[in-house]
A and B are shown apart, each in its own frame.
Chain A
């Protein structure tokens, strides 16, 4: 065969080979199709202090790096609110122990809610219900509620989902987090799952003065005042000091027993009714009226004001409330009683509470806004 014919034949074969191998799909990828984006979830492991219980993760929402990253974005993004001014972080600031420093929080319409924004430190371990009244079982359930609450974000989930679908980045983020193949698969449940994944990372270091003082060899010791406070808190003095009864509701290691109590801060309105019935309003069990979640006291010095409606401004005033015995009620916890603490003993208790401060928690770069 002549050389130029060989060249032409070879070239033709090459064209044939490549032509058959090519995907001659002349159409554009479908709008919203995410399948071209790689989905290779990498497990996210949370560092949990040895003294803490196991961090339980629902089987249908395993933690992945992409899921946590998406959840963090959504947590700090005001896209969830009607007028795009409020995000979860508006009421749960990293630098305020993931609360907001207000007695009650204002929503997008500047209406005050009736309850204080709870601090989210170690929120993953609150396995007996979320919110002050326990109305959400899991973080995935809790994350759904503020969007449509008229005194919070005052928006609709369909509205949020539309915004997420139109966003230049979120569809891809959802793909990487959950493996969806089309943006139409973005749902409120996936958004809530992502936020729950992020919130499960908010675990304290377990390296407070309290933790280290109880760790042999740490070189950290309680001061005399802190030690007295510790002994009163846990009733460890053998009668030498008053029992401050704190641990009944705020037990170690989380400094929350996860349960609900009436701690005597509300007067009875009538019978067994209170201004805010708390847990009882959710369960329908009047015997649980006026009971609220005992939150964690880790970082409590950074979480003012205090109680379910932020009515107590300082830790000193909290201690004085418990020292006074609070308002009577049939279901008031019996350990909320007149304690008879001296000025020094109250100062000692305060000193001990300050040992629960984890200064590293709020500083963690992974907890800050990604924007």
Chain B
């Protein structure tokens, strides 16, 4: 068979030299690594949470949630020797499947003992300054569905559903709360000892009380008064829900 000499000899020499150089480079010694999974298990108060399942919303009303997702970014693992900032970003969607929890997998974590984890609910400013086209499709920050041109910001969380306003189970009110802009960033620190072992996966269970997210001054937030909240003009409502979401997440015992 005739060999097709596409490369000149000089080009092959260059390839070999480059390969030798690259191959002789000292690889960065990152040490042994393991994985971690953050497992968010939602509930609605004392009840198991399921998408589109009705839950009491005050004395008369009831609510069904069709969409509940939020970004977590700026993830740091806390240890005695300091914090390790991960580059991962996650879009936690508790309504995206019929699974009972939503999991974020974190790879390439140095083995060792850790005392906690810190993360932001929302998109940290350095990432919020970018936009979806800056990220590859596998990165959750590539989602144009979670970007708001008018705000020049990501949509940090989306909470959508229907409310039965009169108690007749007619679910007559659609609602949406979309938080965003740097003002709505909330940071959460979870204290728990855990160990990352080489090539093992360590799970960290987090409890998410969806009912808690809808609280305002000890009562359910008045959705009929303000059903659509996705505008900086509603920043007070957005900050309330952003803060509530952070408080609704606890370490799972």
Contacts and interface: CB of A to CB of B under 8 A. Distances in A.
Is B truly associated with A? yes
A40 interface: yes
Contacts of B162: 330, 332, 334
Interface string A255-276: 0111100000000000010000
A239 B150 CA distance: 12
Contact of B4 (A38, A236, A239): A38
Contacts of A335: 176, 228
Nearest to B160: A334
Contacts of B59: none
A53 B142 contact: yes
A270 B149 CA distance: 37
Given A127-B137, A330-B171, A235 B51 contact: no
A252 B228 contact: no
A236 B148 CA distance: 11
B73 to A, nearest CB: 19
Contact of A334 (B97, B143, B175): B175
Given A51-B133, A331-B52, A337 B174 contact: yes
Interface string B115-148: 0000000000000000011001100001111010
Given A56-B136, A334-B160, A328 B171 contact: yes
B29 interface: no
A283 B97 contact: yes
B30 interface: no
Interface in B161-178: 161-162, 171-172, 174-176
A53 B51 contact: no
B87 interface: no
Given A251-B147, A333-B160, A334-B160, A287 B231 contact: no
B64 interface: yes
B4 A40 contact: yes
A247 B176 CA distance: 15
Interface residues of B, number: 34
A258 B176 CA distance: 20
A284 interface: yes
B49 to A, nearest CB: 12
A244 to B, nearest CB: 12
A236 B145 contact: no
B95 interface: yes
Main SS class of interface, A: loop
B203 interface: no
B97 A285 contact: yes
Nearest to A260: B145
A52 interface: yes
A35 interface: yes
A251 B176 contact: no
A258 B144 CA distance: 8
Interface string B75-95: 000000000000000000001
Interface in A37-67: 38-40, 51-54, 56
A250 to B, nearest CB: 9
Interface in A131-163: none
Given A235-B150, A236-B150, A330 B132 contact: no
A234 B171 contact: no
Given A239-B233, A334-B227, A337-B174, A54 B133 contact: yes
A335 B178 CA distance: 11
A258 B132 CA distance: 12
B1 interface: yes
A71 to B, nearest CB: 21
20 contacts: A38-B4, A40-B4, A40-B6, A53-B137, A128-B137, A249-B145, A252-B144, A254-B144, A256-B144, A258-B144, A259-B143, A272-B52, A283-B97, A328-B171, A331-B52, A331-B66, A332-B174, A334-B174, A335-B228, A337-B228
Given A287-B95, A334-B175, A334-B176, 14 more contacts: A38-B4, A53-B132, A56-B136, A236-B149, A239-B233, A243-B231, A251-B145, A252-B144, A257-B143, A285-B98, A287-B98, A334-B162, A334-B174, A335-B176
